[in-house]
Amino acid sequence: MIPTQDDVLGYFDTLSNWGRWGDDDELGTLNHVTDEVRLAAARAVRHGRSVSCAWDVAVPEEMERSTNVCPCAADMPGAENMPAAFHADRRWGFSNERLGLLFHGNTITHLDSPCHIFWDGKTYNGRSHSLVDAATGSAWAAVTAASNGIVTRGVLLDVAKVRDVPWLEPGHGVFPEDLEEAERRQGVQVRPGDAVLLRTGGGRARHEGGTAGGLTQAGWHASCLPWLQEREVALIGADTPQDVQPSGYDAVLMPVHAVSLVAMGLWLLDNCDLEECAATAAELGQWDFQLAVAPVRFEGTSGSPVNPIATF
């Protein structure tokens, strides 16, 4: 049954994890990733094959890039003031870069931390949006809460394959029954602490069409949120920016983002490229793997560009 708008708005209370792991908790559902869960994830490595679940960051469309090239370091301004060993060696040079990017959005593969979304001026565990400062960023539930990385068992649920389509059309949502049918067909069961990666085929559409994003997209329907809470999922990802758009609810534009990050403390992996992961899973007949996500430790930041690695 598709939940009503009142049902979805009620998820902010019925699915809330505020206080579940203490009033000062910033990890949210990453608390489900225990030492035992990480050990189980290591046992999911049965072939030793690793694949990336991320897109390249394009220049200049998605990233501003300035590259400096110095063919001979001894000729650079100020070299004469460096130690003799520096300017005496005339054979080495270098290049470096200055990068600028906005990783939130519909294209770059990135991790959302709980401070990314507010609801009624609150973020995860009831903290005020005022803890986010324009100069210093967020003092609460920033991406550095996951500074030790996220290493857990990943499960890929290929709903495009379940529906026997190359990709789900924009505006088509994924429901709990789709998730359970994918589990049944793939012979895998989502367990507490897992990261669930949803393949809608959006990556294939992007590879073939060359575009990403827009005002409509396939993705998780809000009805999946109780299912994810019941299964004690630690992290979800998708080959779109998560929420089906339009969501079907006038009062909440992105219910999966809002309820997950604010109420549940459920971290999100947006804009994955799951095509190689899905092809590898089908080839090996293995739909679970060790997933490693290592965000850059940007202080006070609401997420990070990432390169999630699935190892089968």
pLDDT score for 54? 98
Q: Is the pLDDT of residue 252 over 80?
A: yes
pLDDT score for 86? 84
Name the pTM for this structure. 0.95
Any idea which of 202-206, 212-216, 257-261, 266-270 has the lowest mean pLDDT? 212-216
**With pLDDT > 70 as the criterion, what percentage of the chain qualifies?**
99
pLDDT (mean) for 242-264: 97
Binned at pLDDT 50, 70 and 90, residue 87 comes out as: confident
Q: Is the pLDDT of residue 33 over 70?
A: yes
- Residues 252 and 37: their CA atoms lie apart, in Å, by 33
What is the 3 state secondary structure string of the chain?
CCCCHHHHHHHHHHCCCCECCECCCCCHHHHHCCHHHHHHHHHCCCCCCEEECCCCCCCCCCEEEEEEEECCHHHCCCHHHCCHHHHHCCCCCEEEEEEEECCCCCCCCEEECHHHCCECCECHHHCEHHHEECCCEECCCCHHHHCCCEEEEEEEEEHHHHCCCCCCCCCCEECHHHHHHHHHHHCCCCCCCCEEEEECCHHHHHHHHCCCCCCCECEECHHHHHHHHHCCCCEEEECCCCECECCCCCCCCCHHHHHHHHHHCCEEEECCCCHHHHHHHHHHCCCEEEEEECCCCCCCCCEEECCCEEEC
pLDDT (mean) for 236-244: 98
